[in-house]
Amino acid sequence: MSKIVPFGKPFIDNSELNSIKKVLNSGKYVHGKESENFEKIFKKFTRSKNATSVSSCTAGMHLFYLALGISKGDEVLVPAQTHVATSHAVEIVGAKPIFIDCELETGNIDINKIEKKITSRTKAIVVVHFLGVPVKMEKILKIAKKNKLKVLEDCALALGAKIGDKHVGTFGDAGVFSFYPVKHITTAEGGMIISNNKKLDNIIRSKKAFGVDKNYNQRNSPGKYDVKELGINYRMSEIHASMGVVQMKKLKVILKRRKYNFDYLSKNLKKIKQIQILKNSEKKIHSSNYCLSFILNKKLASKRSKLIKLLNGAGVGTSIYYPKPVPLMQYYKNKYNYKKNLFKNAFIISENSIAIPTGPHVKKNDLKFIVNEIFKSIGTLN
């Protein structure tokens, strides 16, 4: 194989190495300036009022429900087409996720199906900006206001995505981001919760660190503190945060490259009649171009595994977003006995789509290579 373009590759160099080394040498691995600095930079970038670093996006979503006191007997509306983390964060507090199918054009939650699922037990709705394409938040907020629901935005794949000039994550009560290695920026593992609600942010901040009344730097005398509420340890270490600080400096370039790559791939792959590319833009909707996903037509769909093997064999990395609608994952299927015809569009995307890379590691000559290999591989299947 002459060339390999992986699906995802962290965009790191000596600057991250140096920042990690500096933290290691300092001996201060938690409660330091790096996480404070990372939060400040993130807040400024997203133009949110508060930002709290956490150990993962999942941890952030868990904290959101803990902070609101959502628990057994409550229901949260969850898109069927997402990472299981979006739903697990609801399950883990004892509440029940009520799944909603997606639109076939974007993979985003089908807003028209939301209101039918609202009951007296519904407390919140979580939306996922699927593959970085913003959900139409104006409509979500209208439904939420009418029914007194809290809104969480799962922005795991959407750092830099905007509606008009406003960043995703700033529309709902809170937005949570992921810094897992293939995401827009990485801290190895990590996440950030943004919110314009200071009171909510304070509770989240306390709960992410055992519920102590004074954080490490607020204590007059070392080791003296009290615990005012139940909490957990979901802090981000200084080592991870120092990576985040450096990565944020690269974000503009990363987003520009992702957009260029998406547009190139989309323009060239559009010529293939047997595939439908998931839509990533329309008026005011600015995607973060996490990846490009296309749905194979009926005839090709039965050959998806073969096509993936051909592409991977030729050096083109692929992924699937996501392998099954969450309600059809074994855990949820066994617990709630969901039938697949309830989530028709999510099922089509899970079963028939292939995602290809748009990250900054994909260079201009790689783009041509990816397009050629896709044409060639589909050609051999016909």
Ligand X SMILES: Cc1ncc(COP(=O)(O)O)c(C=O)c1O
CB 197 within 8 A of CB 73: no
Torsion of CA 302, 306, 307, 311, to 10 degrees: 170
Who's near 43: CB < 8 A, 6+ residues apart? 49, 50, 51, 194
135 or 314: whose CB is closer to ligand X? 135
- Note whether 127 binds ligand X by CB under 6 A: no
85 or 163: whose CB is closer to ligand X? 85
Which residues in the 67-126 window bind ligand X by CB under 6 A?
82-83, 85-86
Which residues in the 251-280 window bind ligand X by CB under 6 A?
none
Given the rule CB under 6 A, which of 43-51, 52-60, 240-248, 264-272 is the region that contacts ligand X? 52-60
Q: 54-88 burial by CB neighbour count: b if 16+ within 10 A, else e?
A: bbbbbbbbbbbbbbbebeeebbbbbbbbbbbbbbb
83 or 136: whose CB is closer to ligand X? 83
Asked if omega into 322 is within 30° of 0 (cis), the reply is yes
What is the closest distance, in whole angstroms, from the C-beta atom of residue 296 to ligand X in the complex? 22
Instruction: State the DSSP H helix or E strand holding residue 233, giving kind and residue range, or none if neither.
Output: none
What is the closest distance, in whole angstroms, from the C-beta atom of residue 128 to ligand X in the complex? 5
What is the closest distance, in whole angstroms, from the C-beta atom of residue 321 to ligand X in the complex? 7
H helix runs in the chain, sequence order: 14-26, 33-46, 57-68, 84-91, 137-147, 198-207, 238-269, 298-301, 304-314, 330-336, 344-352, 364-381
Q: Which residue has the tokens 């943004």?
A: 194
What is the closest distance, in whole angstroms, from the C-beta atom of residue 324 to ligand X in the complex? 14
What is the closest distance, in whole angstroms, from the C-beta atom of residue 235 to ligand X in the complex? 14
Which residues in the 143-202 window bind ligand X by CB under 6 A?
154, 156-157, 178, 180, 191
Given the rule CB under 6 A, which of 55-63, 90-98, 116-124, 344-352 is the region that contacts ligand X? 55-63
What is the closest distance, in whole angstroms, from the C-beta atom of residue 164 to ligand X in the complex? 23
User: Sign of dihedral through CA atoms 19, 24, 25, 28?
Assistant: positive
185 or 272: whose CB is closer to ligand X? 185
329 or 381: whose CB is closer to ligand X? 329
Given the rule CB under 6 A, which of 56-64, 225-233, 312-320, 373-381 is the region that contacts ligand X? 56-64
Which residues in the 11-40 window bind ligand X by CB under 6 A?
none
What is the closest distance, in whole angstroms, from the C-beta atom of residue 214 to ligand X in the complex? 28
What is the closest distance, in whole angstroms, from the C-beta atom of residue 54 to ligand X in the complex? 9
SS3 21: helix
189 or 373: whose CB is closer to ligand X? 189
126 or 367: whose CB is closer to ligand X? 126
CA distances from 143 to 129, 148, 172, 197 (A): 17, 8, 12, 20
Number of residues that bind ligand X (CB under 6 A): 14
What is the closest distance, in whole angstroms, from the C-beta atom of residue 82 to ligand X in the complex? 5
Who's near 229: CB < 8 A, 6+ residues apart? 203, 206, 207, 211
CB atoms within 10 A of CB 305: 8
318 or 377: whose CB is closer to ligand X? 318
Cα separation, 175 vs 240, whole angstroms: 20
290 or 338: whose CB is closer to ligand X? 290
Amino acid, res. 43? K
CB 75 within 8 A of CB 86: no
- Interface ranges with ligand X (CB under 6 A): 56-58, 82-83, 85-86, 128, 154, 156-157, 178, 180, 191
